[in-house]
Each structure stands twice: as C-alpha cells, then as structure tokens.
Amino acid sequence: MKRRGRGIACMWYPIGFTVAANPSAAVVKINEDGTATLLTGTVETGQGSLTILAQIVAQELGIATEDVHVVSADTDATPMDTGAIASRTTYVTGNAARLAAEKARLMMFDVAAPMLNVKPDQLEARDHRIYVKGYPQRNLHVGDVANHARMVMGQPPIGSGYFNPATVALDPETGQGKPFATYVYATQIAEVDVDDETGDVDVLRIVASHDCGTAINPMLVEGQVEGGISMGVGFALQEEILFDAKGRQMNPNLTNYIMPTSLDMPEIEVDIVDNYDPTGPFGAKGVGEPTCVSTAAAILNAIHDAVGVRIHSLPATAEKVHAAIKAKQAAEQKQLSAS
Amino acid sequence: MVTVSMNVNGEKRTASVAPETTLLKLLRESFNLTGAKLGCDVGDCGACTVIVDGKLVNSCLMLAPQAEGREVLTIEGLATQDRLHPIQKVFEDKGSLQCGFCGPGVIMSAKALLDQNPNPSVQEIRDGLAGNLCRCTGYSKMIEAIQTIARERTA
Amino acid sequence: MATDTKTKTTALVDAEQLLRVPSAAPLVPFPVDVQVPDAARQTPAVGQRATRPDCRLHGLGQTKYIDDMYLPGMLFAKIKRAGVASARIISVDTSEAEMTPGVMAVVTGKDIPCNSFGPSLKDQPVLADERVFYAGDGVAAVAAVTEQIAADAIEKIKVEYEELTPVLDPLESLKLETPGVHAPSANIYGHKIIKKGDIEKGFAASDHIFEASFRTQMVEHVPLEPHSSLAQWDANGRLTVHSTLGRITLGRADIARTLGIPMSRIRVVATVVGGNFGGKNEITTEPVIALLSKKTGRPVKCTFTRPEEFYASTTRHPLIMDYKTGVTKDGKILARKIRLVLDGGAYCSWSETTLGKACILSAGPYQIDNLVAEAFVVYTNKTMTGAMRGFGAPQVCFAYESHMDDMAKALNIDPLEFRLKNVLSEGSLSPTSQTLHSVVVRESLLQAAQRFGWKPKTAPEAEGAFA
C-alpha cells in the first residue's frame, strides 16, 4: 500500500574557502562602440558563470548582457582565478569583474564629463547612455564616449580589479573566528509515496525556496536548483560506490551505479527568497552547491512521515526501507502481544 | 581494415576503419562530427545517441560496418544555413542545457519523440528521455522545452 | 633494450594509423543571423533571464570539449592502474609494452621530477613509484598511435607488488593502534574543533537529551564528460595543456612543481567543461601526458574511461555523524554535541576544506549557545575523497535535519514550528561566533511552507506558526 509523507529540511551554506585566501582577478576593456570584453580566469563548467559575469559587467557599464563578450580560462591571456569551486564565482569573481568594470566606467566618466560640462561624479550609466544625474536630457551614447576616449583623448577605457572575501582565522582550540564572508540559506520540502510492501520510494514533488542574494539571472538559478535536487535525489535513494573486501570498487560503471534519470525526478517548484547582500556584486551571493544540500534530508524526513521509520544511513534503498518497516511492524506486534 | 559507406546528414560519406570500430568512433574520428559524445562507451548514458534509418541508436553499441548503406542523422544535421532547428531554439530560450555534454543526445531523443508523438504528456516525455543521463539540469527545463515545442506546433 | 625503438615502431606501425590526420571538416550548416533572444538585449542586465551564447553552440553540437580535439600526429595515452588497494611496488617492467608496435613512449613514477601534489597536503603521487595506497593509483603510462594500442599495451606492463592489508573502515583507521594506512603519516590527518559557550551547563539545563547516529555513503560526481587533457610543446620548451580542470591557476602551479619548470613556460587552457561538481579541481594526468609529449615530440591526449571516472578520480567523503542535543520541553535547543568522522580515502585532496566546512556547518542553521563540534578525517585505502558539491554539507544536513524531526516527534511539536523556534536570524552568532548578516532561513522556511501548503499535523501552537 502506498503511504504519503512530507518532510522539511532547511540549511545554511558558506560562499568561498574556509578562511583561506581565494582571490579572483578580472580585466574589463571597452571597445570604441561602447561594447566591452571581460577577461576572467574562471572556467565555465556548465553552470552559466560566464553569462552571469557578463550580466554583472553590463550592469556596471549601463549596457546589455549581449554587449559584453567574455574571454575565459587561459593562463596566458586571462587573470588569475581560484576557480569554479565552493560556489564562489558569482560572489568573488563577480565582485572582481564589477570592480574592473567600475574602473573602466570611471575612465569613461572622466572623458564624458567635460563633453557634458559637468564633473565625473555627476554622471551615471544606464540604458546604453551616460546621463547627468538629475538632468537626464543631458546624455551621451556610450559608443560616442568610448570612441572619443580612444580617438581624441588617447585614453582607452580599461580596468582591472581583484577581490578576496574578508575572513578571520579560526582559533585552533575553540574554532572561533570568521571563516566566510557570507552564507546562503534554503529550505526544501519533499512529498513522497512509500510503498510499505516493497520499500520503494517515489518522490512526487519538491518545493525549494533558495536564497542567493540578488538573483543575477533567475533562469540560471532555477537550473542550478533543479540540477542540485537531482543530485540530492540520487544521494538520498540510489547512489553508492561499493567496495569488495580487497578495497576494489565493485560498480565503477553506469549500469550498476544508479543515478537519477528523467523517470526518477519529482515535480520541482522553485522560489527565490528576496534578499540582498551588500558585500556581493549588486547584492548577489551564490547558489551552486547549496541546491543539493537539503534534498536528501527532506526526502528522508518525508519517508519518516509516511511510514514512521527513521533511516539512519544513506542511500535509503527499497531494501533498507522495507527492512525498517518490517522491523517496526515486528516491534509493534511484540508490544501488542506483550500488553 | 574495412571500407564503410553511408549517408550522413544527407551526404554520402566513406571511410576505411578497423572492423571493430563503433559508429560513434567513425562519426567522431573519421567524419569529424564530434557532436555525438563518448560518455561511457557501453550504452548506459545516451550521450552518443543518433538516429539511424529513423530509429534512435546508441552509436557506441553499433559497429561501423552495421551502418553500411544506412541513413544516419546526427545533431549536426538538424540546423540549416537559415535557422536553428525548433528544438535547438527552444532549448536555448528555456535554458534547457547547462554543460551541454548530454545535449546532442537529448536533442536527438527529443526529435525522435516529437516525430513519433507530436503532443506527448509529461510522462511520455520522461519516458522519451529515459535513455539520456544528465547530471546538470535535473531534466526539468528539457521537459518544459519539449512541452513548449509541442504546444507551438499544435497551435 | 638498446635498439632504436623509434625506428622499429615506426617501421612496424600501419601507415594509415601513423597519419592520424583528422579528415576534412564536413560542411555543417549553421545559421549566423539568429537574433539574440530579448532578455540578453535588455537593460538593466541584472535580473534578466538572459540566454547563454555557449548553450546555442551546445545545442548545435559545435562545442569542442577536450576529447573532441584531434591534432595531427596526436598520440593517445592510457594509465596502468594498480588494482590493489595497498602494496609496496617491488618492480615495474615496461619492456614488452615499449616493444609493442604503435607504442611511442612509456613513463613510470621514477620519471616524474617532483612526484607529489595536492591542494593542501602534497601527499598524492603523479604516478605511484614506491607505494600504492588505493586500487586506482596509476603506476605507469603509455602513449600510442591509437587508443586501442595504448589500452592493450598497459596490459603488457608487469608490476610486482608486495600486497599489504588494506584498511577500509574509517572507524578502524581512527583507532591509533592501526598500523599507518599512509605511513609515515598518522591515520588521522586532519582535526577540527569548535567550542562555544558551556556544553555541560547547557545539557544540565535541558529537559530532554536526544542522541542519534547517522552515516552516508561514498558517491561520485558522474560528470557526463570524463576527465580529459591534451599536452603539446613548442621549440621554445613551452608547454600548452588543454584540460578539463576547473582551476587552471592551481593546475599550472601543480604542473610547474611536478615537472620542475617555470610557470611562464606553461599555458593551461580550459574549454567548456562538461560538468565538474568538484571532481575536476586538481590535476590528474596532466604532468604524465606532458612528459609523454616531451619524449615523443607529439601532442598527447588522455581521456578517462567511465570506469576510471569512478575508481581513479575523487569522490564524496562518507561521514559518520554522532549528535547529542539538549532541548527544553517547549522545544528550545540549549546544547548540542557533535562528532564527525570523515572517511578521507587514500590521499588528502580537498579533505581539509571538507573537514572545516562540515565541522562549522554541522550544528545546522540554528541558534545554539552551547556547542561542541569535533571532526576527524582519516586515511583509508579507498578512492580518494575530495571536493564534491557541498564539501560535507549534504551529509551533515541529512544528520541534523533527521535529528530535528526525531526530536519534533518526541516533543509533539510540528517540524516546521520546531525549526522556526530555533533558526538563526539577522545578527545571530554562528557556531564560530561570527555575526551573521543577510540571514533569511526563516523566510525560506515560511515561503516553502506556503507554496507547499504545509499544515501542522500536531496540536497547533497558540500564536503565529506562520507569523
């Protein structure tokens, strides 16, 4: 018989390395037509970081995402980067990219200010133009400014920046300190059906509410949450590397290492928590790893709710769940006959 | 060495290969069509999915000589000089791919599904993609994309 | 053997295989004038659902991953894996492999100028030369004109081992009496402790004390794209390595160190990686293929098989987690004591980072004034455990959230309500007494509960579960 259950799990997760320096550097150069290029040492590993970085640079320069071309991952041509790890790219590399773009933008403002007869700090950049704050009728197209900068003033707008999260080393005796600059928070709620005769668990629905600070690109955040949940489902119910007595892996292949297919995935509903982190680029934090942290916990709590058994080890295979249900029934029988 | 000849994406292609060469290796190394990927080489992951004589095939499980004289359609055969294939377009719009490695295989499976069933249910879509493993996306935006294409076509 | 190996193998190799020139690229049609979808053309840029230009190329099958790269004269490398979990290497005989037609070079651990690397502890060899610490340890490598010849050749390499008893259970390794798994290092190669408040007072003041133990398993990243790298040199002694590394600056440093060459002579390029999830954050075969390329004067590519992805690349740390929590009868957590044992595999890899994060995060997103969290990482003779999405967080979250639900049930409080009573808020102090900002765990709980339609099953609390 199928029994339905629901389970909550909430979590917190840090951005960047534990205390240790993990800097990123970036360079932004502006072309004569106002479009731009970002040089970053980060590596695109599928999460869409290059597009996120383009959006951050575009925002700083007041242009559109498609106006920013990103060159990445070449130790000869791009600045150093600690890498696509620890969910740090949006926050650390993003901050570096924004700072680099800011410097290039300030060079643009230095050139635009006399063209508009104002001081540089009276200017703002948005919608492909540089405006005088409070008097928007006075403005110039970024292309005209960039062209003037290079061709007339001889000051090609270029900026480099770097960023490293501010941390405080941990006391070796008590662990007290500030290991990370910022954290993200999330909750996932799972709804499952457990077959109490076979132990099979069917994950029907997961609702995920994730904080990432400002969502630079909500579509990519959703993609990360959905992908993270798929890893969480596998971690909860299916995946396991098995060793023989001699220490050799017994299932190093995709036939016998079970991981989620399209048939194993629940309906997923994603909400992004409204939040802003002043230490992040335009308020952003990160999202890559947090997405798979609470899934297994939510599913296991849902199993507990459905059939009243607590599984203490992952994965919660059908065999394990079934054995736990049987044990519980036997214990209940014993109690009944004893009373 | 054996000589094999087949029609790939509408063009006759010929190569001389060792007889145990898979169709996957033939496509990638002899014909420079690297869209089909080697993810496991034993038919478990679907990254090598192509369409042979109208049927979905794990090209790592088919030997090159077995494709002799057949019609082979790979990811490279979907777009034209003028436009992306609708599946490619909607996948891009919906953010259905992330690292992209499983992408060509998934798109071929999606094409085969929609060719056979122009208005699939969510369960039918899940079934249609069941032979393609993806580690990045959770399949959600792929399913959404296929639903969108089906809707747009029947509209 | 003193005979001219190069002449012999060149003469014996089939002429067609020697050429290995990629055939002329087919005329694959693709549209050039497809408009960029709206969101990427909008300002302001932040907040847009901008599409990814790289994803257009993915959908066309045009993205070139490392394994899609074929260069003229390129050789294929394969690594011989130990197959034994713990052993001393007595001898390595590569002579039969070297004499095989089509094999152009062979290297062993002795050929590596500086045979150790690692993100923190440099305890992992590029190729094992004296000791094998897990079954996936590489002991030799071959470069040949085809992948098949390379795969066959490594079977012909004869390695004599003195097999030792492997230690597979982390709790066994934790006991100091066990002979060193990774001698001369101690079995416990990392330790972290967090102490906050007064744990004994906290438990003394509690109405109930709950204890539970949890375990998690070893899993693997399973990126669809296996690890791959390609090395080539120019006449100025400059090495270019294309690699699936997610950290090219570190990769360059590791290559410089293991090969003993200056960084200015090394270029590391990553193309788009087909999935990382933490498993591609340190070097694997890069120094080996660099040496093979140097020996042969030809580009050398090495791509992991799917089985190698499992048994020869990093995995997620299995954790053993013991929790003890003291609560008041109306559900306020007063004290928590945690012990974590991380199965640290054969080499350190990213264990230090994982240890630190797991320890700090293990208390959960909860306001706990009296806390002791202690974590150990131990060597075992199993696949190295490294960085995998979450660095210990998924494991401890499974433990602390299961524990929360067990306590909620025992106290007859709704699981959502129990969490809302205890979660961190803006300005809370973390387990390391850091003042937290931008804290929204309460908001995420309420938002998720509302969308889910969470209704408490137990007797409702008097005021505002959903306030």
Q: Catalytic residues of A, which ones?
A: 289
The yes-or-no verdict on residue C5 having pLDDT over 70 is no
Q: Which CATH number does the domain housing residue C348 bear?
A: 3.30.365.10
The yes-or-no verdict on residue C12 having pLDDT over 60 is no
d(CA A69, CA A54): 7
The percentage of chain B sitting over the pLDDT mark of 70, rounded to a whole number, equals 100
pLDDT per position as a tens digit, B118-150:
999 999 999 999 999 999 999 999 999 999 999
Kindly give, in sequence order, each residue whose CB lies less than 8 Å from that of residue B155, ignoring residues fewer than 6 positions away.
none
**How far A69 CA sits from the closest chain C CA (Å)?**
10
d(CA B43, CA A254): 9
Residue A320 and residue A194 in contact, taking contact as beta carbons nearer than 8 Å: no
Element (DSSP H or E) covering residue C428:
none
The CA-atom distances, in angstroms, between A280 and each of A29, A96, A213, C351 are 22, 10, 8, 27
Element (DSSP H or E) covering residue A330:
helix A318-338
Q: Is residue C320 part of a domain?
A: yes
Name the residue ranges covered by the structural domains of chain A: 2-14+180-335, 24-163
Does one domain contain both B25 and B59?
yes
The CA-atom distances, in angstroms, between B106 and each of B3, B91, B103, C42 are 30, 10, 5, 30
d(CA C103, CA B46): 32
* Token code pair at residue C23: 């055939």
Q: Is residue C417 part of a domain?
A: yes
Does one domain contain both B67 and B102?
no
pLDDT per position as a tens digit, C134-147:
999 999 999 999 99
Encode A246-283: b = buried (16+ Cβ within 10 Å), e = exposed: ebbbebbbbeebbbbbbebbbebbbbbbebebebbbbb
Regarding the domain delimited by A24-163, which CATH topology (the fold level of the hierarchy) does it fall under?
Aldehyde Oxidoreductase; domain 4 (3.30.365)
CB pair distance less than 8 Å for C268 and A75 = yes
CB contacts, 8 Å: C277 with chain B: 135
CB contacts, 8 Å: A127 with chain C: 43
Amino acid at A209: S
The yes-or-no verdict on residue C22 having pLDDT over 70 is no
d(CA B97, CA C58): 8
Q: Is residue C58 part of a domain?
A: no
* Token code pair at residue A147: 């062209």
- Partner A, chain C 297-356, Cβ-Cβ below 8 Å: 306-311, 315, 353, 356
How does residue C443 score in pLDDT terms, banded at 50, 70 and 90?
Answer: very high
Which of residues B29, B52, B77 is at a domain's end?
A: B77
Task: Return the number of CB contacts < 8 Å for A and B.
Answer: 76
Give residue C460's pLDDT: 44
Q: Is residue C246 part of a domain?
A: no
The secondary structure of C304-350 as a DSSP string is --HHHHHHSS-BPPPEEEEEEEEE-TTS-EEEEEEEEEEE--SS-TT
Which of residues B45, B77, B109 is at a domain's end?
A: B77
CB pair distance less than 8 Å for A227 and B138 = yes
The secondary structure of A27-78 as a DSSP string is EEEE-TTS-EEEEE-----SS-HHHHHHHHHHHHHT--GGGEEEEE-BTTTS
- Note the helical H segments in C329-414: 351-361, 393-411
Q: Which CATH number does the domain housing residue B62 bear?
A: 3.10.20.30
Task: For chain C, give the mean pLDDT.
Answer: 92
Residue B140 backbone dihedrals phi, psi, to 5 degrees: -60, -50
pLDDT per position as a tens digit, A267-300:
999 999 999 999 999 999 999 999 999 999 999 9
The yes-or-no verdict on residue C467 having pLDDT over 90 is no
d(CA A35, CA A68): 6
Please name the member of A255, A259, A263 whose beta carbon is closest to the beta carbon of B130: A263
Q: B49 is in which domain, residue-wise?
A: 2-77
Return the SS3 of A79.
Answer: coil
CATH entry 3.30.365.10 includes domain A2-14+180-335: yes
**How far A320 CA sits from the closest chain B CA (Å)?**
25
CB contacts, 8 Å: C48 with chain B: none
pLDDT per position as a tens digit, B76-108:
999 999 999 999 999 999 999 999 999 999 999
The yes-or-no verdict on residue C7 having pLDDT over 70 is no
How does residue C461 score in pLDDT terms, banded at 50, 70 and 90?
Answer: very low
Residue A40 and residue A56 in contact, taking contact as beta carbons nearer than 8 Å: no
Decide if A229 touches B, using CB distance below 8 A.
yes
The yes-or-no verdict on residue C21 having pLDDT over 60 is no
The yes-or-no verdict on residue A126 having pLDDT over 70 is yes
Does one domain contain both B54 and B92?
no
Q: What is the DSSP letter of A12?
A: E
pLDDT per position as a tens digit, C396-437:
999 999 999 999 999 999 999 999 999 999 999 999 999 999
| Tally of domains within chain B | 2
CB pair distance less than 8 Å for B45 and C275 = no
Q: Which of C348, C377, C385 is nearest to C120 (CA)?
A: C348
* Token code pair at residue B141: 């935006």
CB contacts, 8 Å: B127 with chain A: 262-263
d(CA A8, CA A225): 16
d(CA A265, CA A204): 8
How does residue C23 score in pLDDT terms, banded at 50, 70 and 90?
Answer: low
pLDDT per position as a tens digit, A20-72:
999 999 999 999 999 999 999 999 999 999 999 999 999 999 999 999 999 99
CB pair distance less than 8 Å for A19 and C356 = yes
Does one domain contain both B20 and B69?
yes
Does one domain contain both B64 and B126?
no
Decide if C261 touches A, using CB distance below 8 A.
no
Decide if A270 touches C, using CB distance below 8 A.
no
d(CA C16, CA C155): 24
Give residue B36's pLDDT: 98
The secondary structure of A144-207 as a DSSP string is HHHHHHHHTS----EEEEEE----BPPPTTT--SB--S-EEEEEEEEEEEEETTT--EEEEEEE
**Contacts by B24-29, CB closer than 8 A, 24 or more apart:** B24/B48, B24/B59, B24/B60, B24/B62, B25/B64, B26/B64, B26/B67, B27/B59, B27/B72, B27/B74, B28/C68, B29/C22, B29/C70
Q: What is the dihedral of CA C411, C415, C416, C419, to 10 degrees?
A: 70
C271 vs A235: which has the higher pLDDT: A235
CB pair distance less than 8 Å for C454 and A8 = yes
* Token code pair at residue A153: 């003033």
Instruction: Give me the mean pLDDT over the C217-232 stretch.
Output: 98
How does residue C439 score in pLDDT terms, banded at 50, 70 and 90?
Answer: very high
Q: Which CATH number does the domain housing residue B105 bear?
A: 1.10.150.120
Instruction: Give me the mean pLDDT over the A295-323 stretch.
Output: 98
d(CA A114, CA A117): 5
The yes-or-no verdict on residue C463 having pLDDT over 80 is no
How many degrees, rounded to 5, is the angle at CA B127 between CA B121 and CA B133? 130
Which of residues B58, B77, B96 is at a domain's end?
A: B77
CB pair distance less than 8 Å for C29 and B79 = yes
CB pair distance less than 8 Å for C26 and B33 = yes
The yes-or-no verdict on residue B19 having pLDDT over 80 is yes
How does residue C182 score in pLDDT terms, banded at 50, 70 and 90?
Answer: confident
Q: Which of A77, A74, A105, A95 is nearest to A24 (CA)?
A: A95
pLDDT per position as a tens digit, A1-27:
999 999 999 999 999 999 999 999 999
